[in-house]
Amino acid sequence: MVKLITHNLLCCHARGCNYPENFPLVFRDVTQLEVREADYNAEFLQKMMPRLEWKALVDTAKQLGDTSLPEELPEGEAMDEEFLKKLHHVLMEIHIEEGAMHCPKCDHKYPILQGIPNMLLAEHEIGR
Amino acid sequence: MTLTAHDSSQLEALRQDPALHESTYVHAVYDNIADHFSQTRYKPWPIIAAFLASLAPGSVGLDSGCGNGKYLPLDQEGKIMLLGMDRSIGLLAHAQRAGGKGREVVRGDAMRVCWRPEAFDFAISIATIHHLSTPERRQQAIEALLRSVSSTHGRVLIYVWATEQDELSKRTVPDDPERAGKKVQDVFVPWQKTAVKGKGKEGESGKQEVHQRYYHMFEKGELRGLVEQAGKSLGLQVLEGAEGAAMPGLQIVQEGWERSNWYVELLRHAPHR
Ligand SMILES: [Zn+2]
């Protein structure tokens, strides 16, 4: 169940890959995407929003076929319930069950199996 | 239950290839016992529950070494979020539906940072770092926690097993023959798994399987020492209180011993002017 909130946190950690070039990971070969209702919590969304990489979220949602989010993160009055409901849907209700995420820099593939992304690297792929 | 000290050949194997030692005596074992293990985990420790309850709404945190996900449901009914990470795919399958709801989990390595730098508001590491088999690897795991949380407000809580065990733990740590008055630290902890025979007749007793898990038992002061080393290597000034940090600081908020574990709570903060 890779939600976009999780995707917004993940980075490639292979040798030579550093932020921000290793972010965001790109979904590929998504063979199973599910939309599942989740409990809506406006307070959580409002307060965590500044921690998001907004452009990465909007672009990734678009790639998955959801164009409901505005290009710019709304402020003040524009951050109304209608907007928060859309954000809730994109962040918390879209799940990638099967597929992969690729590093935008080195193209390393992180597979997603039964909703669990495998972020492990082999010893020779590790930088440090 | 008596824990078994490593003999000299096991210690040598550990030193030769710590990753293999952990793979054999930690990862493979948890994958094997995951279903059974998940039936027996009891209620959360009070200090950990209080820590999670004290977080501001909107906080996003990492549970590094989440196991079967017993802490993932303590999310203030959705006001905060915990993302679980573990190495064992068997345990993650349980963590994924901890508390009867879908949970976000990732398969990963506690010594690595596969997140945006400082992506999280908080991180917890409960009964995980003691499965790493060298001081360098344990320190690296603490550094990974510190690098994963905000440098201005990131909070970290770490729990590890202690050589000092109380009566309730039912675990006995053997004395170290080489160091008077000290306990051995690199040990095997047996896990008893009752394997029920397939299609067995009613009343037929299952056979006992014993799996040995590797643990490094922490002595008094050892966790704090590692935290100080980790902070130093990241250029953080380690402080007892919140005042007086001229450079990026790492405050030790509380530390202590609870029910046979050593714990420490940390706070990262920006330099004061
Ligand atoms: Zn990469």
pLDDT in tens, B7-22: 999 999 999 999 999 9
- pLDDT reported for residue B199: 45
Residue B273: is its pLDDT beyond 60?
A: no
Name the strands in the sheet holding B237-239, side by side, starting at the edge strand that comes first in the sequence. B105-107, B81-86, B60-64, B122-126, B155-161, B261-269, B249-258, B237-239
Q: CB A11 to CB B116 under 8 A?
A: yes
Residue B171: is its pLDDT beyond 90?
A: no
**CA distance, residue A63 to nearest chain B CA (Å):** 21
How many CB contacts within 8 angstroms connect chain A with chain B?
93
ipTM here: 0.97
- pLDDT reported for residue B126: 97
CA nearest to A42 within chain B: B79
Written as six digits, the tokens of B34 are 């995951």
- pLDDT reported for residue B42: 64
For the segment B219-246, the average pLDDT, to the nearest whole number, is 88
Residues of chain B contacting residue A49, judged by C-beta atoms under 8 Å apart: 58
For the segment B108-128, the average pLDDT, to the nearest whole number, is 98
Q: How confident is the model at residue B196 (pLDDT cuts 50, 70, 90)?
A: low
10 Å Cβ neighbour count for A53?
Answer: 17
CA of A18 to the centre of ligand 1 (A): 8
Residues 39-58 of B with CB under 8 A from A: 56-58
For the segment B139-144, the average pLDDT, to the nearest whole number, is 98
Q: How confident is the model at residue B205 (pLDDT cuts 50, 70, 90)?
A: low
Residue B197: is its pLDDT beyond 60?
A: no
- pLDDT reported for residue B192: 85
Ramachandran angles phi, psi of A6, nearest 5° = -70, -45
Helix-helix angle B222-233:B135-148, to 10 degrees: 60
CA of B73 to the centre of ligand 1 (A): 32
Q: Where would I find the H helices in A42-124?
A: 42-48, 54-63, 81-88
Identify the structural domains of chain B with CATH numbers, from first to last.
4-166+214-269 (3.40.50.150)
For the segment B210-236, the average pLDDT, to the nearest whole number, is 96
- pLDDT reported for residue B202: 45
Higher pLDDT, B203 or B55: B55
For the segment A57-79, the average pLDDT, to the nearest whole number, is 94
Identify the structural domains of chain A with CATH numbers, from first to last.
2-118 (2.20.25.10)
For the segment B199-204, the average pLDDT, to the nearest whole number, is 45
Q: Determine whether B240 is exposed, middle or buried from the number of CB atoms within 10 Å of its CB (0-12, 13-18, 19+).
A: exposed
- pLDDT reported for residue B234: 96
Written as six digits, the tokens of A126 are 């590790």
- pLDDT reported for residue B200: 44
Residues 109-168 of B with CB under 8 A from A: 109, 112-117, 119-121
**CA distance, residue A52 to nearest chain B CA (Å):** 9
Residues of chain A contacting residue B106, judged by C-beta atoms under 8 Å apart: 6, 10, 116-117, 119
Q: CB A115 to CB B96 under 8 A?
A: yes
- The mean pLDDT of chain A is 95
Could you give the CA distance from residue B41 to residue B38 in angstroms, rounded to a whole number?
Answer: 6
- pLDDT reported for residue B28: 92
For the segment A16-25, the average pLDDT, to the nearest whole number, is 97
- The mean pLDDT of chain B is 91
Of the partner residues B58, B81, B89, the one whose CB lies closest to the CB of residue A43: B58
- pLDDT reported for residue B248: 84
Could you give the CA distance from residue A23 to residue A102 in angstroms, rounded to a whole number?
Answer: 10
CB of B92 less than 8 A from some CB of A: yes
B251 and B240 in contact (C-beta within 8 Å)? yes
For the segment B115-120, the average pLDDT, to the nearest whole number, is 98
CB of B238 less than 8 A from some CB of A: no
Q: How confident is the model at residue B239 (pLDDT cuts 50, 70, 90)?
A: confident
Measured between alpha carbons, how far is residue A123 from residues A70, A105, B47 in Å? Answer: 41, 19, 36
Residues of chain B contacting residue A97, judged by C-beta atoms under 8 Å apart: none
